[in-house]
A and B are shown apart, each in its own frame.
Chain A
Amino acid sequence: MANSEANKLFKEFKIQSVSEFFRRNAAMLGYTGKVRSFTTIIHEAVTNSLDACEEAGIPPYVRVEIEELGSEHYKIIVEDNGPGIPENYIAHVFGKMLAGTKAHRNIQSRGQQGIGISGAVMFAQITSGKATRVITSTGGDEIIEAWVGIDVEKNEGKIFKKIKHPNPTGWRGTRIEMEVKEVRYIRSKQGPYWYLKLTAIANPHAHIELIEPDGKLIVFPRSSEEIPEPPEEMKPHPKGVMTDDIYRMARRTSRTTVRTFLIGEFSRISDKKVEELVKYIAALRLIKEEEEQRVREQLLKRLAEGEVDKVLASFGKKGKNALKEAEKLMEKPPEKLTWHEAEEIVEAFKYMTFLAPPTHGLRPIGEPNIEKGLSGILKPEFVTAVTRPPKVYRGGIPFQVEVGLAFGGELSSGFDVLRYANRVPLLFDAGSCVITSAARSIDWKRYRVDDLERTPLVLLVNVVSVHVPYTSTGKQSIASEDEIYEEIRLAIMEVARRLAKYLGGKHRKLYQVKRRKIFEKYVPEVSRALSILTGEPEDTIKNLLIKMIEKKFETVEENKAEADGNA
């Protein structure tokens, strides 16, 4: 097929099916079901606001307003105090279908779908036919009011109408208003209210408000002044990449050879490692040519054991030639790398050993902030949090687990698990999520929680990673990777131990009060009887007894304080 023909076909394909694509991939984009679609829109808008504020170092103030216009017909308004959007970028921000930069970046991010707010604009456009109204200012002299939509023919944002207003008060921020249909607002654990509440818990530096369709104002106030640092991009680790990643990255890179491309764009790959990689590729090629399956398996086994030099030597001259061939691969320009060659590299990576990937780019919420978030929103009696050190799963993908625990206070009875991936609440598919199974695997009785279903207990679990392994395209539940499961368990057990200790102390205190009462109630009886037996006045004995009890419990409390101090 001629190249020009292909281009033309591809172009037509794009024109016809941007909205079709949207519909087809509704599940992947989070727009399935009337409740879920609503939550997704809120999620995209709020995420945009939080990200923008964080990048600009502004403590976020986000206000979500929902008006009911008719049956399954709403107006959604999201306003923030972020840096605002420069006039030229408005169309880009709200209309960049599939052109998302995040999707292919090796960075921990809130945005999971890659199309973000433009998806919401698209959804509004498809369901209500209305453009999204954007009011924004960077704090300068003017406020821009624009109506934005998606040009489905060009697959890009389009501004239908734009008005400039003066900005005498220096207002800065962004307000978007969109009309949507085919959605439903429910105050359930999968609706916007719950989503915002969970978002507020995981983002204690944000002030979030919600005005529900019935006019009720709900405020999740800021409980921390600390704005999280933006995540850093981390180079992918050889153990964590797939053929597609290498193939795509090779096409985008500005490096001139595959060798410099591998060294420069991946972590833990040095010159020496490339030499090793060449040997492995050569060996693998030779092994594949081997006819006898038994011999093949044996050689692969030896390769896995690191005997690459011996394996190559066993092929004699053939080995040397293969090595030279493979060596050539490294000197190719990266954009010439074929799919098959990328496959060979990935396969060789599997047999090689690398240093664990760097983890500095991960941005957990942090123990103090989890505690602040849980305290500020849930008002529990006891709160604690654990952020585990970063770990690696599948040999090369760094991740980190953190768990917060809230108990008692204003919590209602019952056990609740708040699931997060990179701070984003996961509201759906709880049953298949590794967080749920890890939380359920804990023997809570060992931690003084006898009746879990009736204990006011909330667990917050946040899995942080540049690449969270979701079970499905819906990205609402995390797959059961052994390392992640184990980390979640360890973190939960740690906070559970702290809870047990707290409950133990509480019991002890109650027990002390009870003990004291036992002694006190017998004072009149004992003093009267002793007075009869000894002739000593009753009151004298009574005072003696009361003094004894005072002294006894003073020392008990002192001892306890000492013990706590030593702990």
Chain B
Amino acid sequence: MLKRERPKERFSYDPRKVLQKLEEFGKEILEELKAGRNPFIDVPTRGLSNVYFDEKDRVIKMGDKTSRRYLFNVAHARKFMQTLLIAAYIKRLVAEGKHASLREAYYANKHTIPGTHENTFEDQSESDPIIEDLERMFGVLREEMHITADRRGYIYGDIVIKDGEDEFNASKLGMGGWAVPGTVEHIEFPEINVDYVLVVETAAMADRLIEEKYPKKEKALIVATQGQASRGVRRLIHRLHYEEGLPIIVFTDGDPYGWYIYSTIKQGSINLAYLSEKLATPEAKFVGMTMDDIKKYGLENVTEKLKGIPPNKKGGPTGDYKRIIEEMNYPWFQNKEWQRQLKLALKWGVRIEQQALANKSLEFVAKKYLPEKIANEELLP
């Protein structure tokens, strides 16, 4: 049976840490200026070229390539100025204990530069990358810098959550559970009465499981990601595993999109490679849906056809087929189990949704499918 393990990390949120980093950053620039040198900042390079899969830690990590940005360089000056503006803004936010969304951060810093027709930021697409740069430079999440991400996803289960001055049990907030906020850094878990976390892709399936009282019976915490897991949810999953020792089991549709959701939770993503150590949970396991489930549970009639052109057809592969082939090449899918599932999907040309299990009966997923698979540890790595 799945049981809570020993925690590997500690609650680490400390706003002073961020403030300190920002001040150091400013001081270094000032020192350079005072010494009559052209101040610069080293920003880790973004993009695929600076990303690699760490076999040992089994997460996508950022390489050590950086690009140097000088204040007195025509090509860099504007970005340098923008970086300083956002850094100063974040310092005030954190110091005052306030949070702002990406868009708020954009509007708060946008103004016309005196004596010109130029704005400090013309577009949110200018301010968002600066915030990402700061995350990379300082190795802190933007949530730690009080810039919140879009919220999406909710949890349900018998754990006590401490959110600022509020303390509540996430199984006593009604069927809707507790919506995961954009920032979960400051959240603490004074009491945990579950054995594992079940991450569910669709809200409909999560609701089904809650209605069937699955969390209570199986001592599980349901985390509904509602599609691709938001940064808040991913950070929450990471913290629940590393700080609270909870095993993580992921339950998605049996299609390339669902498997990618799993992959992101487990290994991190290329975009946020620099944050993998804070967001990814490589120990997560996958319960379903798998291609084998179709045979095992007789779901042949409720499969859907894959979209796009198969690789052996003219113009192929496209759509789902292409996606599956890409996933087959991911380093973390280089194992017998996953290669088998992906090959079967290609061979049969089908996908299977979580809710197809309702074909058996509404309770089937909660009473039979999940409990059996988890108990028998029929899980994919």
Contact = CB atoms under 8 A, between A and B. Distances in A.
B333 interface: no
A522 B77 contact: yes
B204 interface: no
Contacts of B120: 525
B80 interface: yes
Given A548-B33, A552-B72, A533 B115 contact: no
Interface stretch (B54-62, B84-92, B205-213): B84-92
B2 to A, nearest CB: 47
Contact of A525 (B27, B38, B72, B113): B113
User: Can you list the 6 inter-chain pairs with the closest CB atoms, starting with the nearest?
Assistant: A533-B26, A529-B84, A532-B88, A529-B88, A534-B26, A522-B81
Given A519-B72, A534-B26, 6 more contacts: A518-B77, A526-B81, A532-B26, A532-B88, A534-B30, A541-B30
A228 to B, nearest CB: 51
B114 interface: yes
Contacts of B77: 518-519, 522
A529 B23 CA distance: 11
Interface centre among B29, B81, B118 (most CB of A within 10 A): B81
A490 B320 CA distance: 65
A445 interface: no
A342 interface: no
A515 interface: yes
A119 B34 CA distance: 83
Interface string B26-53: 1101100110101000000000000000
A545 interface: yes
Interface of B: 22-23, 25-27, 29-30, 33-34, 36, 38, 71-72, 74, 77-78, 80-81, 84-85, 87-88, 91-92, 113-116, 118, 120
Contacts of A533: 22-23, 25-27, 29, 84, 87-88, 91
Interface of A: 515, 518-519, 521-522, 524-526, 528-530, 532-534, 536, 541, 544-545, 548-549, 551-552
Contact of B84 (A515, A530, A536): A530
A526 B116 CA distance: 15
B84 A524 contact: no
A551 B35 CA distance: 13
21 contacts: A515-B74, A518-B77, A518-B78, A519-B72, A521-B113, A522-B77, A525-B113, A529-B81, A530-B29, A530-B84, A530-B88, A532-B26, A532-B91, A533-B26, A533-B29, A533-B87, A534-B26, A544-B30, A544-B34, A552-B38, A552-B72
Give the secondary structure class of A's interface. Answer: helix
Contacts of A551: 36
Given A521-B115, A534-B30, A526 B72 contact: no
A551 B92 CA distance: 33
B33 A544 contact: yes
A544 B33 CA distance: 7
Contacts of A524: 113-114
A12 to B, nearest CB: 86
Contacts of A522: 77-78, 80-81, 113
Contacts of B25: 533
A549 B84 contact: no
Given A526-B71, A534-B26, A541 B33 contact: yes
B39 to A, nearest CB: 9
Contacts of A541: 30, 33
Contacts of A521: 113, 115-116, 118
A534 B84 CA distance: 11
Nearest to A528: B88
Contacts, number: 71
A494 B72 CA distance: 37
Give the secondary structure class of B's interface. Answer: helix
Contacts of B91: 532-533
B30 A536 contact: yes
A518 B76 CA distance: 10
Contacts of B29: 530, 533
Given A521-B118, A530-B26, A548 B113 contact: no
B113 to A, nearest CB: 6
B216 to A, nearest CB: 50
A519 B84 CA distance: 14
A280 B74 CA distance: 75
Given A519-B72, A522-B77, A534-B30, A529 B85 contact: yes
Contacts of A545: 33
Contacts of A544: 30, 33-34
Nearest to A515: B74
Contacts of B85: 525, 529
A519 B81 CA distance: 10
Given A519-B77, A525-B84, A532 B33 contact: no
A548 B91 CA distance: 26
A535 B120 CA distance: 22
Contacts of A530: 26, 29-30, 84, 88
Contact of B36 (A515, A519, A529, A548): A548
A521 B117 CA distance: 11
Nearest to A524: B114
Nearest to B22: A533
A527 to B, nearest CB: 9
A544 B74 CA distance: 18
A525 B71 CA distance: 12
B148 to A, nearest CB: 21
Contacts of A515: 74
B72 A549 contact: yes
A526 to B, nearest CB: 5
A85 to B, nearest CB: 69
A549 B114 CA distance: 18
Contacts of B22: 533
A534 B34 contact: no
B118 A548 contact: no
A342 B115 CA distance: 84
A52 B120 CA distance: 72
B72 A529 contact: no
Nearest to B26: A533
A534 B27 contact: yes
Contacts of B34: 544
Contacts of A529: 81, 84-85, 87-88
A515 B29 CA distance: 21
A550 to B, nearest CB: 11
B80 A526 contact: yes
Contacts of B81: 522, 525-526, 529
Nearest to A552: B72
B37 to A, nearest CB: 9
A534 B23 contact: yes
Contacts of B88: 528-530, 532-533
A522 B72 CA distance: 10
A524 B111 CA distance: 12
B375 to A, nearest CB: 55
A548 B22 CA distance: 23
A517 to B, nearest CB: 9
Contacts of A552: 38, 72
Contacts of B84: 525-526, 529-530, 533
B40 to A, nearest CB: 13
Contacts of A536: 30
Contacts of A528: 88
Nearest to A520: B115
A513 B77 CA distance: 15
Contacts of B92: 532
Nearest to A523: B81
A24 to B, nearest CB: 71
A515 to B, nearest CB: 5
Contacts of A532: 26, 88, 91-92
A544 to B, nearest CB: 5
Nearest to A553: B72
